[in-house]
Structure 1
Amino acid sequence: MADSRAPDSTRRSDRSRRAIHDAALALVTEVGYAKTTVEGIAARAGVGKQTIYRWWPSKAAVLLEAFLDLTEQAARAAADGAATYEIPDTGDLAADLKLVLRATVDEMNDPAFDLPSRALAAEGIVNAELGAEFARKLLEPQLQLYVKRLRAGQEAGDVRRDLDLRIALELLAGPLAHRWLLRTLPLTHAYADAVADYALYGLAPRG
């Protein structure tokens, strides 16, 4: 007997959305953001252009959602399938920070992350709404992981109690972002370790 069940529109939509995500990330990596178009994404994904515009207002919105999904998948993989990724707390603050900074270096050097994130960062400069959404949905949650770990360091006596933790995390994350943006010097594990050592030397309890 023929299967008379109606197609599962939810599964079909999820497959289309995944195909669109993959197409957007692939195109921006291959041809750059400027040459990536909604038409090109639709053709690569095997969907109609109207399907994309039904879900997203622009190619920037498509790329942002695709990149957020990519980073969430990476975070789950790093956390062995857990819903969220955390900076470990082994009791050794320096080792924990070096671990996450090295992982950040690896991600920044990975073309799968590097090129889409550069495209979004550049577009966010001229598109304030996209830039704010990129910061709110991706950057800020990652930065708050540093705040949480540094606060635990305060409680353990490894970090000064009077610190502004927002400034403290910028001492760690800022140098990597600066070197990544300029591309004038290599972004390496050794550099990540040095950043952690230099920052922690200034963060050590006084007296």
Structure 2
Amino acid sequence: MSKQPDPTRRSERSRQAILDAARELVSEVGYAKLSIEAIAARAGVGKQTIYRWWRSKGAVVFDAFLALSQDGDSIALPDTGDIEADLKTVMRATAAEFADPQFEAPIRALNTEIANDPELAAHYREKLAGPVDEAKKARLRSAQQAGQIAADADLDLALELLYAPLFQRWLHRSGPLTPEYADALVDLALKALRPD
């Protein structure tokens, strides 16, 4: 008795091949030179297969990088009980990621696409930024409960205090994204957030 092919498994293999191809190609040729045709050729699928799942190359590249961060576990920040140490760990990792040449160009390209494509921006907020921000706020809430951050601190504003300067420095290429810079951001933000 012959076994029938499973179209679901074949679709998942094609989808994964497309995501892998997009990630590889954006690193090799850059976002501007990346095309749906090149992704399809590398993945061994037709262009129509890509357009069945994604409406633009920006959406494909976003999902390719989103897949890297999804390992099946829920997002959580370290919670050792020491908010300063935990925030410095996270901010150093964030600065290192933004400074990594392998990810820097694709991240810049994605930010440009997100800025110019409201649908992609909404997808980004729903799938990545929203859940990550909620995880960050959960860690800050834990620090509030421990008395390390003021009970009335606006946690959305606290995230902006921490991350906006790092993002601005990266966006404008106005200085290095070092561990020392990440630590200084945490120190300054905690001065504003600690209880009186």
Please confirm whether the aligned pair reaches a TM-score higher than 0.5, indicating the same fold: yes
Structure 2 residue ranges without an equivalent (≥5)? none
1:20-64 Cα offsets, whole Å, 9 max, x none, are 001111222222222211111101111111211122222122112
> Out of 171, 175, 183, which is 1:193 matched to?
183
Tell whether 2:92 aligns with 1:102: yes
> Which residue in 1 is equivalent to 2:16?
18
> Out of 132, 140, 153, which is 2:130 matched to?
140
How far did residue 109 of structure 1 move? 2.3
How far did residue 98 of structure 1 move? 0.6
Tell whether 2:195 aligns with 1:202: no
- Provide the rounded CA distance (Å) in 2 between the counterparts of 1:111 and 1:142: 22
Q: Which one-letter code corresponds to 1:10 in the other structure?
A: T
Q: Secondary structure at the match of 1:163?
A: coil
> Identity rate of aligned residues, in percent?
55
How far did residue 112 of structure 1 move? 4.1
Q: Secondary structure at the match of 1:114?
A: helix
Structure 1 residue ranges without an equivalent (≥5)? 77-81
- Provide the rounded CA distance (Å) in 2 between the counterparts of 1:190 and 1:184: 15
> Which residue in 2 is equivalent to 1:47?
45
Tell whether 2:149 aligns with 1:159: yes
Q: Secondary structure at the match of 2:107?
A: helix
1:104-146 Cα offsets, whole Å, 9 max, x none, are 1222223443222211110122212112221222112111222
- Provide the rounded CA distance (Å) in 1 between the counterparts of 2:59 and 2:136: 27
Distance change in 2, residues 1:8/1:112 (3 Å): farther
- Provide the rounded CA distance (Å) in 2 between the counterparts of 1:116 and 1:16: 22
- Provide the rounded CA distance (Å) in 2 between the counterparts of 1:53 and 1:157: 51
Q: Which one-letter code corresponds to 1:35 in the other structure?
A: K
Q: Which one-letter code corresponds to 2:31 in the other structure?
A: Y
> Which residue in 1 is equivalent to 2:27?
29
Size of the aligned set, in residue pairs, is 196
- Provide the rounded CA distance (Å) in 1 between the counterparts of 2:132 and 2:75: 9
Higher relative contact order, structure no. (Cα contacts within 8 Å, ≥ 6 residues apart): 2
Q: Secondary structure at the match of 1:190?
A: helix
Q: Secondary structure at the match of 1:98?
A: helix
Matches within 5 A, 1:123-138: 123-138=113-128
- Provide the rounded CA distance (Å) in 1 between the counterparts of 2:167 and 2:9: 38
- Provide the rounded CA distance (Å) in 1 between the counterparts of 2:193 and 2:56: 43
Q: Which one-letter code corresponds to 1:43 in the other structure?
A: A
